[in-house]
Structures are given as C-alpha cells and as structure tokens.
Structure 1
Amino acid sequence: MKAILYIGHGTRSKKGADEAKQFLEAVINQVDVPIQEISFLELTEPYIDEGFKRCVERGATEIKIVPIFLLTAGHIKQDIPNELAPLRQQYPDVKLTITDSFGVQEIILDAIAELINTTSGTLSPSDSLLIVGRGSSDPETRIAFGQISEGVQERTGVELVEVCYLAAIEPRLDEGLEIITAKASGRIIVVPYLLFGGLLLTEINQKVRKKEKLGYSITHTGSLGKHEVIQKIVIERAASQGELLCSR
C-alpha cells in the first residue's frame, strides 16, 4: 500500500508549527493516497521516525518522502538521509522514494513578485528589495539566491536587490538591513525566503519594525507558504515518481 511522509523543518514556535501542520493537512486533503503522515526534521513533533513508523503501522509497503524545503542544502543532502538510514535497515521490505526540494522555480519567483505587489502595490525603480534567506554553508545556497535575486528583480523592475541570511553565511540580517537602508532612495520591501512563520520570521518582523520607527519606509511580505502556488508545488511533488532510495 502506498504512503506519503511529508517532512518539514520544524520550529520552536507553536504558531509556526501549527501553520506548517495546517498547510500540510490542506495538502493531504487534496492528494489521493491512502496513507499520509506529517513529520518534522527537528524542534517539532512528530519527528521523522515516528511519522515513518505510523505509515508502516497503517500498512504501508511503499513510502514516498516529500521534503517541504525550499532549497537543496545540508538538510536535504545529509540530515534527512541520515534520519532515514536506520529506518531503511529496520524496514528493508518497504520501498522508499524521495522527491526533490522545491528549488528555484519560475512559478515561485512569480509568486514572490505577487506577494511584493500585494504588500506594497506597484513598485517603482527607486524602490528596493532585501531578500532574506535562512542560510547554509552549502555553496549552492549563494548560487540559488543569486538566481532568486535576478529573477525577482526582472519581475519587479526595481534597481536595487540585496540578499542577506539568518545563519551560517554573510551578510547576516543586521548587516543586510544596514546595507539596504544606506543605499535605498525609495521604499524598502523585505522578502523573507521562508515557508512558514516562526521565530525566524518574528526576528525579521522585529528588526523591520525598528527600522520603520527610525523613519525608513520599510515593510516585509511575510512568509511564502501563504501563497497558493506553494501548496500546488507540494501536491505535484506528492504525485511525482520520486527517486528510489531503497527497494526489496
């Protein structure tokens, strides 16, 4: 019997965890697979091993892993496979496949432009964007955000787009805000490249509000998961074949 195990990142924020679970429950209601379970890599229960075992207990003989991650980095390349390794040994007869992270897709860049326009209305070339990534030491992260920056700039027509990160690589959020406020001549729109709310989005919101109180015309779009296209991508991933990890 076929099953899907969705794997989110996880957060210490109850509000953020609830948001992710509600999102995935909405996806589950639109996917025609008999067994579907939600799990998280860290910080939020149920964890991967519990979700996996629930699938098996419900009769799963094939499990498709669907990671809910925007980009391919350490979590996709190392952490999730490491968590799955002992489960593969424990349940060798269960066929296991996995889908890719979302990656840099045209429809996601379109969605970001829509979120920006919804937040701030039509932009002028003098407005500026600050894209905030989670951050990773994986070298592909900078490459991906270079593509994201270019794609969003093309769609919005602004002259200045900067990128900063919340962890692992520079520039960090504080420096990114200093750079953008020093260069900007018009409005500043901060774009958190995050799927759901949580402590990271709260941090961005607090620092944006501080800049606003100093007199800057600055706001942020909120998380990307609220755009319907993200749900569509997950549903498509759930229907895709996936890459074989192990078989009998």
Structure 2
Amino acid sequence: MNRPVLLVIAHGSRDPLHAATVHALVRRAAGLRAGLRVETAFLDFNVPSVPAVLERLAAEGVREVIALPLLLTRAFHAKADIPAVLREAPASLRIRQADVLGPSPLLVAAVERRLYEAGLAPADKGSTGVVLAAAGSTDPEAIAVIAEMARELRRTGWCSVRPAFASASLPRTEDAVRALRADGVRRVAVAPYVIAPGRLPDRIAEGAAGADVLAAVLGPSPELARLLLERYDGAARAEERVAAA
C-alpha cells in the first residue's frame, strides 16, 4: 500500500530567505524517511500555491495526501485558511489535515539548540533569562500554547522565561527584555519562536536590541524535521484507525 503524500503547507513571505528556509527544512525531513514523497506549498507570496500542488498531485493519480500546516500554534491559518483551501481540492484526492507543530518537547529542544549556537552553554542557564518571542495572534488558544512553551522551556533550567510577541499580542520583545532586566537577570537572551525569516522575525530582532544574545529562527533544525514526521505519522495512524473501524 502506497503511503500518503506529505504536503507541507507554509505561510509564505516576501523575504526570499523564508521560502529557502522552508525548502531546507522539508528536504531534511524527507531525508529522514526513505520512500516518502514530500511536497511543499505556500498560502501566500511564494510558489507553488496549495491549489497548484493539489491539482498536480491529482493529475498524477495520487489519491491520499496528509496536509501538514507548518505552524507552531493552531490559530487562524490552521483553523480557517488551510481548511478552506483544502476543501477546494480535486474530488479525487483524500486529504487529512495533520496537527500543527506545537506544543512539543522537540520544539523546546530546537529553541535550546539555537540558544547554544548563539553562544550560550548549559552552564549559563542559571544566570540567563530567555524571551521566547513568537509571531503573535489574537487567538486565545494560540497565546496559551506560547505560554505553555515558555513554562516548558523554564523547566529545563533557565532562570526565567517570558513569552513575547511581534504582533497582535503583548508584551512585545523589547518589553519582555526590559522586564527581565528589571528583575535583575544577569544575562538576557531572545529566542525567536518562529520557523523561517520574514517581516515578523525582523521585528523580533529589532526588539532584541537590548538583549545580550539573539538566537536564530528555528529553521531546518533536526528537531523540527523529526517533528514534521511525527505529525505525519500521527495523522496516518488516525486515518488507519478510522478505516479499520
């Protein structure tokens, strides 16, 4: 039995580094699973679009697709935009939407990897406060997930972790940096909780001007690549349970 195609759906950005980073991540995930066909599509700004990829897959005779939102929280894009575009897919395709990526211990590990790559070490945790800087959302569920991720990161030993947002929500990155300074934290690091470069990650970087350390976006980290496959497998198992019922 052929496995469903994995279709990774990213938001897209005018920043050319965004699409390049998404493609690098998808290639890394595909390299971990021999024989799995993996496709990439974008909701906006970049090509190929989701409808274009779905039309091509249908024309090739593909029957099953698992659509994976390349999103860290289940906000508007996961709840509305992606389901809407999938509903317009060719009737011959059977599509299941996988869960978004967050929350997950693998994301905590990816954030720490980027902090260490930025110059910190495990021994620095006790004297370092971290601003976990997300894109932002008006969705309470998404905000709650970011808060949960901040708590999980704090449990790994950092002296303090504060969530912050580049848009739609408060506090902003610079406000969280100032709050940690006011608390007497010796060293402040900003960890962008975003997948790829773009306008909002640029805002996070601007807000990190008062920090000691600015980590890179999550990008094609090995933890994120593994997480893509975890979400794919979860959706595939759910489909198998439905078929067996």
- TM-score norm. by structure 1 comes to 0.84
In structure 1, the residue matched to 2:193 is: 193
Gaps of 5+ in 2: none
Cα deviation for residue 243 of structure 1 reads 5.6
In structure 1, the residue matched to 2:68 is: 66
Cα deviation for residue 85 of structure 1 reads 1.7
**1:174-232 superposed Cα distances (whole Å, 9 cap, x missing partner):** 43333334334311100110012223223322342x42xxxxx5111111124211101
Number of aligned positions between the proteins = 235
What SS does the corresponding residue of 2:24 show, helix, strand or coil? helix
In structure 2, the residue matched to 1:97 is: 96
C-alpha distance in 1, partners of 2:91/2:185?
A: 60
In structure 2, the residue matched to 1:38 is: 40
C-alpha distance in 1, partners of 2:238/2:14?
A: 31
In structure 2, the residue matched to 1:177 is: 177
Moved over 6 A (4+): none
Does residue 220 (structure 1) correspond to residue 219 (structure 2)? The answer is no
Cα deviation for residue 165 of structure 1 reads 0.6
C-alpha distance in 1, partners of 2:30/2:113?
A: 25
- TM-score norm. by structure 2 comes to 0.85
> Map of 1:1-248 to 2, 5 A cutoff?
2-33=4-35, 35-87=37-89, 91-119=90-118, 120-121=120-121, 122-158=123-159, 160-208=160-208, 210-211=209-210, 218-240=212-234, 241=236
Q: 1:184 to 1:202 in 2, by over 3 A?
A: farther
**1:141-198 superposed Cα distances (whole Å, 9 cap, x missing partner):** 221122111111110231x222111111112234333333433431110011001222
Query: For the Cα contact (< 8 Å) 2:132–2:162, is it kept in 1?
Result: yes
The one-letter amino acid of 1:109's match is V
Cα deviation for residue 76 of structure 1 reads 0.7
- What's the C-alpha RMSD, in Å, of the aligned pairs? 2.3
What SS does the corresponding residue of 2:127 show, helix, strand or coil? coil
Query: For the Cα contact (< 8 Å) 2:106–2:227, is it kept in 1?
Result: no
The one-letter amino acid of 1:15's match is L
Gaps of 5+ in 1: 212-216
Cα deviation for residue 32 of structure 1 reads 4.3
What SS does the corresponding residue of 1:155 show, helix, strand or coil? coil
The one-letter amino acid of 1:224's match is L
Query: For the Cα contact (< 8 Å) 2:172–2:207, is it kept in 1?
Result: no
Cα deviation for residue 93 of structure 1 reads 2.9
Query: For the Cα contact (< 8 Å) 1:133–1:163, is it kept in 2?
Result: yes
What SS does the corresponding residue of 2:99 show, helix, strand or coil? coil
The one-letter amino acid of 2:148's match is Q
